[in-house]
Amino acid sequence: MNKIILIIKREYLTRVKKKSFVIMTLLGPLLMAGLMLVPIWLATKDKDMQRIEVVDETKAFINQFENTNELEFTHEFRSIADAKADLYDSKYTSILYIKKTDKEPEVEMYYKKQPGFSTVNKIENTIEDVMRNIELNAKYKITKEQLAEIQPNISVKAISINAEGEEESKNIGISTALGFGGAIMIYFFIFMFGVQVMRGVIEEKTNRIVEIIISSVKPFQLMMGKIAGIALVGLTQFLLWIVLTGIIYTVIIGAFGVDEAAMQTTQTEQILNDVNPKLSSPHPYQDIIDGIESIPITQILISFLFYFIAGYLLYGALFAAIGSAVDSEADTQQFMLPITIPLIFSFVVAQTVMDNPDGTLAFWLSMVPLTSPVIMMVRIPFGGVETWELLLSIALLIAGFIGTTWVAGKIYRTGILMYGKKVTYKELWKWLFFKG
Amino acid sequence: MDLLHVKRVYKSYADHKALHNLSLHVKEQSIFGLLGPNGAGKTTLIRIINQITGPDKGEIIFAKEKLAPKHIAQIGYLPEERGLYKKMKVGEQAIYLAQLKGMDKGEAKYKLKQWFEKFEIDNWWDKKIEELSKGMAQKVQFITTVLHEPKLLILDEPFSGFDPINTNLIKKEILELREKGSTIIFSTHNMESVEEICDDIALINKSKKILDGNVTEIKEAFKSNVFEIVFVGNMIAFSNALWTAFELLESKNVNGRMHVKVRANKPSDMNELIKTIVQDVQIISVNEITPSMNDIFIQKVQEVMPETLEEITSENNN
C-alpha cells in the first residue's frame, strides 16, 4: 500500500509542477470569465443602429413605426427611385419600400449592409403589428391603446409536484444550462486526464523504466498509482479553476461596477438565446431567482464530483490498458476509437436527453456505466432523478470501474513488457487469461 | 552458502519454451556469470528472479527461503534496455527508485550523496536525465541499481554503452560490492569480463543449461593439451625432438624466432615438454594454451546436445 502512495505522489508532483499545468490553471478561469463577461459587455454597448428610410406608397404607415434602440424609422416622403439613388451617400442603412397593391401591401427592403436574420425578423414583426393595428382600427375602430389593454401576456410557470406533494417551480432554462455545462465538463475532464494516463504509460514503456519499476512493485500497483495520481491532478486543477474563476469574477465586477442584477439577467438571456430562443421568457429576472432556488445545488455539486471521479476511473483504466498495448502514441488510434465512442455518444445525445430528462432513453443512458457520467449529470439539474435511481446509477458505475480496472490490470501486466508486436483485439483477449 | 538456488524451473510463453528444467546455484558473495546466446532464456530467468513474472514449474530459493515479495528490497536489477524518466531530476529520481525498493528516504538521500561524491558527479543532482549523455545516464542508472545496498545484484549487460574507462570503473565497483558482501549475477556477451571477474558461470542455450561451474575448473576441463612455444633454432631438429609425444599443429617464423603450437598426445605437463626439446633448441618461452571462455562458449553452443540428438535420430527413423 505504501508503494502505491509513493507512486501517486510522484505522478501527482511531476505533473503539478509542470509549466503546462500552471498555464492551464490560469487560462481556464480567464477563458470562463471571458465567456461570461464578454457577451454582457457587448450587450450593454450600443448595438449597430439600423436607420431605415421608409418609402410608403400606401401612406398608411406614417407614424405607425415605433423606434427602438436598434431600429429607427424615418419617412422622407420621396419616391423610391430617389431614395435608392441616395442610399449610399445618405445616413440610412436601408430602405423599406411598401408598395401599394390591390391586396396586402408588398414590402421590399434595400440595404447597404445585409441585415441579420433577427433584424429582418424584427422588421417583419413590426410591419405585421402595424398592419394589424391599422386593420383593427379601420374595420373595428380599435385603437392601439385599447389593443394593448386586452393583449394577454402569459408566461407558463412550470411547477413540479414530487411524491411528497411538495411543489417546486423550475426554470427550464437554468436547468438546461447547468445540465449542458455539467456534461461538457465531465466529457472534457475524462478525456483530458484519461489521455494523460495513456501517455504516461506509453512514456514508461518507451523509455524502458517500466522494467525497473516492476521489479520493485507489482504492475497493478503501478497502474493504480498512476490513475489515482492523475485523478488528484484533475481534482486540483478543477478546484483551482473554481477558486480562480470566483476571484476573477468578483474582481471584475468590483472593478467595473457592473450592476450585478442586470448582468445576471442579460447573461442568462444570452445563454438561453444561444441554446434555444424559445426558452427566454418575458419575466427573466424573477424566473431566474425561482429557478436558482429550486435547483438542488448540493446534490449537483456532490454528484458532479462523484461522476467525474468514477467516470474518470472507469475510462482511465481503459486508457491505461491501451497505453500498455502499444509502442507509441501513433499506434493508439485503432484502440482509442471504440473506447471513446460511448463518451462521444453521450455528449451528442445530451440535447435529446434534455428535451426529455425523465424518459426511457435518458433513464437507461444514466444507468449504463459507460454513458452515465455524462447523462446523469445532464438529468440531475432537471430535478427528476429519484434517490433510488441515483443510487442504482452510482452502484453500477462503481461496478463498472472495478470491472474495467480488472480488465485493464490484466492487459497492462502483459502489455508493458511486450514490444514490437502489433497487437490486435484477439491478442488482447488472450492476455486476459495469462497467469500472473 | 547458496544465496540463490534455482530449482528445476520451467517457463513457456504462448508460442515458445523459454526455460526447460533449469537449475543453478549461486554462492553467496560470488560473482556469477549468466551466459548464453540471444534468445537462450537468460532474460526470462532474470525476470523470474526479479519476480516480474513467475515460473510455470519449479521454484527459486533465496537465502534459504522461498522467493517472496519481501525479497524485492534485497535485490537490485539493471536491465539490458536502460531507461529512466527523462524529465525527472537525477537526485529526485534515484531517491524515488530506492524508496520503491523499500529504502527510507533520508537514508537514500544520504547514501546517494556518498555515491555522487565517489563518482565525482555532484553537480548532476538537479539535472534532468534528458540533459545527460548516454554514458552519464548509464552511470546514474548503475547507482540507482545499487543504492539500496541489495544483497543480490542482477546486472544485464552492465558494460554495454560504456567506454573503456567507465567499463573499468564499473568492474571496480562490482568487485568492491562483492567485498562488502553483495552477490552479483551478471549476464553478458563480453567474455573477457567473464574471465576477469567471474567466479562461477552457467551457460544456457535454447532454454536449457548446457554448462556450469567454477571458471577456473571449467577452463581446466576444456584444456586440450596445447602448448605454444617460442624458440630459436632448427625447425627439423625441433620436429624430430617432438617424436611421437607431441603433434605439431602450426608454426610460423617471426623475426627469426619460431612460434609453434603443439598438442600433447597424452596428458603432459610443461616440464615434460621442456625436457623433450631443451637439448635441441633455444627456448624463449613456453605457454600452455588454456581455452578462453569465448572459445568454450562457441564450442559448447555449437555442440549438438544429447537430447537434441535423440530427437533428430527418432525423426529420421520415422
**Angstrom distances, CA of residue A432 to CA of A301, A409, A427, B51:** 37, 9, 9, 19
Which residue from A203, A215, A430 is facing B52, i.e. has the nearest CB? Answer: A215
The strands making up B183-187's β-sheet, listed across from edge to edge, are B75-78, B152-156, B183-187, B31-35, B200-205, B208-214
Q: Are strands B226-232 and B282-289 parallel, antiparallel or unpaired?
A: antiparallel
pLDDT recorded at residue A39 = 66
Query: Does A36 map to a domain?
Result: no
pLDDT at A419: 81
pLDDT tens digits along A209-240: 999 999 999 999 999 999 999 999 988 988 88
Residues of B in contact with A207 (CB under 8 A): 83-86
- A–B: how many Cβ contacts below 8 A? 58
Element (H, E) at A200: helix A172-206
Q: Report the candidate in A309, A302, A313, A282 with the shortest Cα–Cα distance to residue A403.
A: A313
pLDDT (tens digit per residue) in A28-51: 777 776 776 676 666 655 556 778
Whether residue A165 has pLDDT greater than 70 = no
pLDDT confidence of residue A287: 54
For B155, nearest residue in chain A (alpha carbons): A212
| pTM for the predicted model, two decimal places | 0.74
- Confidence at residue A168, expressed as pLDDT on a 0 to 100 scale: 58
Pairing type for strands B226-232 and B257-264 reads antiparallel
Is a pLDDT exceeding 70 seen at residue A261? Answer: no
Q: Residue B200: CB partners within 8 Å, gap ≥ 6?
A: B26, B27, B30, B31, B32, B33, B212, B213, B214, B215
Task: Flag if B96 and A213 touch (Cβ within 8 Å).
Answer: no
CA distance A212 to chain B (A): 7
Q: Of A215, A222, A327, A417, which to mutate for an interface test with B (greatest number of B Cβ within 10 Å)?
A: A215
**HSE of B303 in the Cβ direction (CA atoms, 13 Å)?**
15
Cβ atoms within 10 Å, residue B108: 21
Q: What is the mean pLDDT of each run of 10 residues along chain B (318 residues)?
A: 93 87 94 91 93 92 93 93 90 94 93 92 90 89 94 93 87 93 92 91 92 91 88 88 84 90 83 86 89 89 66 57
- Residue A167 confidence (pLDDT): 60
What's the start-to-end Cα distance of chain B, in Å?
A: 48
pLDDT over 70, % of chain A: 79
CATH number at residue A124: 3.40.190.10
pLDDT at A43: 60
Q: Is A8 part of a structural domain of the chain?
A: no
Q: In whole angstroms, what is the distance from residue B127 CA to residue A40 CA?
A: 49
The residue of chain A with its CA nearest to that of B49 is: A215
Please, which residues bridge with residue B262 across strands?
Answer: B227, B248
Single-letter code of the amino acid located at B203? L
- Helices A2-16 and B90-100: crossing angle in degrees, nearest 10, is 160
Residue A163 lies in a domain: no
**Do A124 and A69 fall into the same domain?**
yes
Domain residues for A74? Answer: 50-146
- Closest-CA distance, A176 to chain B, in angstroms, reads 44
- Whether B32 and B175 have beta carbons less than 8 Å apart is answered as no
Residues A319 and A394 in one domain: yes
Residue B6's H or E segment, with its range, is strand B2-12
Q: Which of A7, A211, A216 sits opposite B72 (nearest CB)?
A: A216
Beta bridge partners of B214: B200
Tell me, yes or no, if A435 comes closer than 8 A to chain B by beta carbon.
yes
pLDDT at B122: 87
Cell of A408: 485493464
Which band of pLDDT confidence, cut at 50, 70 and 90, is reported for residue A432? confident
pLDDT, residue A83, reads 80
What letter does residue B279 receive in the DSSP assignment?
T
| Partner residue facing B52 (CB), from A7, A208, A214 | A214
Cell reading at B118:
565517489
Same domain flag for A321 and A207: yes
Give the residue-averaged pLDDT of A366-391.
Answer: 86
A184 and A131 in a common domain: no
Non-local (6+) Cβ contacts of A93 within 8 A are A49, A50, A51, A52, A111, A112, A113, A115
> Which residue in A has a C-alpha nearest to residue B93's C-alpha?
A10
Residue with cell 502505491: A4
Rg (CA), chain A: 30
pLDDT averaged over every residue in chain A:
79
Instruction: Note the pLDDT of residue A278.
Output: 43
Domain end marker among A146, A165, A194: A146
Q: Do B52 and A417 touch (CB under 8 A)?
A: yes
Placement of cell 417551480 in the chain: A169
- Distance from CA of residue B85 to its chain's centroid? 29
On whether both A232 and A310 belong to a single domain, the answer is yes
**Quick check: A209 and B85 CB within 8 A?**
yes
Assess if residue A360 is contained within a domain. Answer: yes
For chain B, what is the total number of helices (H) and then of strands (E)?
11, 14
Q: Which domains does chain B have, with CATH numbers?
A: 2-220 (3.40.50.300), 224-289 (3.30.70.1150)
Grid cell locating A390: 441515483
Q: Using CB atoms within 10 A of its CB, is residue B55 exposed (0-12), middle (13-18) or buried (19+)?
A: buried
| Partner-chain contact A209 B96, CB within 8 Å | no
Dig out the grid coordinates for A234 from the structure. Answer: 484533475
Bridge partners (DSSP) of residue B308 are none
Instruction: Map residue A50 onto helix, strand or coil.
Output: strand
List pLDDT tens digits, range B23-76.
Answer: 999 999 999 999 998 888 999 999 999 999 889 999 999 999 999 999 999 999
A10 and B51 within 8 Å at the Cβ level: the answer is no
Q: Select the more confidently predicted residue: B36 or A59.
A: B36
Is the Cβ of A19 closer than 8 Å to some Cβ of chain B? Answer: no
Q: In whole angstroms, give the CA distance from residue B65 to residue B157.
A: 28
Verify that A60 and A209 share a domain, yes or no. no
CB contact A20 to B (< 8 Å): no
**Residue A85 parent element (H or E):** helix A80-86
* Alpha helices per DSSP H over A276-296: 284-294
What type of residue sits at position B95? Answer: I
Contact B169, B94 (CB under 8 A): no
Chain B interface includes A216 (CB < 8 A): yes
Same domain, A329 and A187: yes
- Note whether A424 contacts B: Cβ–Cβ < 8 A: no
Within an 8 Å CB–CB cutoff, is residue A16 touching chain B? Answer: no
Mutation test of the interface with chain B: which of A1, A15, A17, A216, choosing the one with the most B Cβ atoms within 10 A? A216
**Helix or strand (DSSP H, E) at B107:** helix B105-119
- Cell numbers representing residue B291 in the block: 581455452
Q: Which of A47-56, A252-261, B251-260: highest mean pLDDT? A: B251-260
pLDDT band at A6 (very low <50, low <70, confident <90, very high): very high
H-helix or E-strand spanning residue A341: helix A333-348
Mutate to test the interface with A, among B85, B86, B130, B142 (most CBs of A within 10 A): B85
Query: Which residue of B lies nearest to A414 if distances are taken between CA atoms?
Result: B53
Same domain, yes or no, for A328 and A414? yes
Question: What whole-number distance in Å separates Cα of residue B80 and Cα of residue B122?
Answer: 26
**Minimal Cα distance from A18: which residue of B?**
B87
Q: Do B83 and A208 touch (CB under 8 A)?
A: yes
Cβ burial, residue B154 (10 Å; 0-12/13-18/19+): buried
Backbone angles phi, psi at B36, to 5 degrees: 160, 155
How far B46 CA sits from the closest chain A CA (Å)? 10
Same domain flag for A317 and A222: yes
User: What's the confidence (pLDDT) of residue A170?
Assistant: 56
CA distance to A345, B127, B131, B188, per residue, from B84 (Å):
39, 13, 12, 21
- For A7, the closest chain B residue by CA position comes to B100
- Coil vs helix vs strand at A53: strand
Please report the pLDDT score of residue A256 as a whole number.
Answer: 62
A262-288 pLDDT tens trace: 555 555 555 555 444 444 444 555 555
Residues in chain A with CB shorter than 8 Å from the CB of B101 are 216
What does the pLDDT read at residue A280?
46
CB B184 within 8 A of CB B199: no
In chain A, what residues touch B145 (CB-CB under 8 Å)? 212
Locate the chain A residue with the closest alpha carbon to B77.
A212
Q: Does A188 lie in the same domain as A126? A: no
Residue A403 maps to a domain: yes
On whether residue A124 sits in a domain, the answer given is yes
Verify whether the Cβ–Cβ distance A213 to B97 is below 8 Å: yes
For residue A178, give the nearest of A69, A51, A344, A294 by alpha carbon: A294
Q: Is residue A12 part of a domain?
A: no
Residue at A31: amino acid letter: L
Same domain for A229 and A298, yes or no, is yes
Identify whether the C-beta of residue A366 lies closer than 8 Å to the C-beta of residue A376.
yes
CA angle B23, A419, A211 (to 5 degrees): 60
Could you tell me which residue, A97 or B177, shows the higher pLDDT?
Answer: B177
Q: Does the distance separating the beta carbons of B82 and A215 come in below 8 Å?
A: no
Given CB atoms, is A209 within the 8 Å cutoff of chain B?
Answer: yes
| C-beta atoms surrounding B11 within 10 Å | 21
The interface pTM score, or ipTM, of the predicted complex is 0.80
Q: Which of A10, A211, A435 sits opposite B81 (nearest CB)?
A: A211
Q: What is d(CA A106, CA A380) in angstroms, rounded to the nearest whole number?
A: 50
Residues A318, A386, single domain; the answer is yes
Residues of chain B contacting residue A212, judged by C-beta atoms under 8 Å apart:
77, 79, 83, 97, 144-145
Question: Given A146, A165, A192, which residue is the final one in a domain?
Answer: A146
For residue A257, what pLDDT is reported? 58
Contact B52 A216 (CB under 8 A): no
Encoded amino acid at A415, one letter: G
- Option in A210, A216, A435 nearest B100 (CB): A216
| Separation in Å, CA of B51 to nearest CA in chain A | 7
Judged against a pLDDT cut of 70, whether residue A154 lies above it is answered with no
Which residues from B are below 8 Å from A203, CB to CB?
Answer: 85-86
CB contact under 8 A, A6 and B99: yes
- B-chain residues within 8 Å CB-CB of A433? none
Give the C-alpha separation, B32 to B193, whole Å. Answer: 11
> For chain A, how many structural domains are there in total?
2
Is A120 contained in some domain?
yes
φ, ψ for residue B250, nearest 5 deg: -155, 160
Q: Which residues, in sequence order, are CB contacts of A86 under 8 Å at separation 6+?
A: none
What DSSP element (H or E) covers A161?
A: strand A158-161
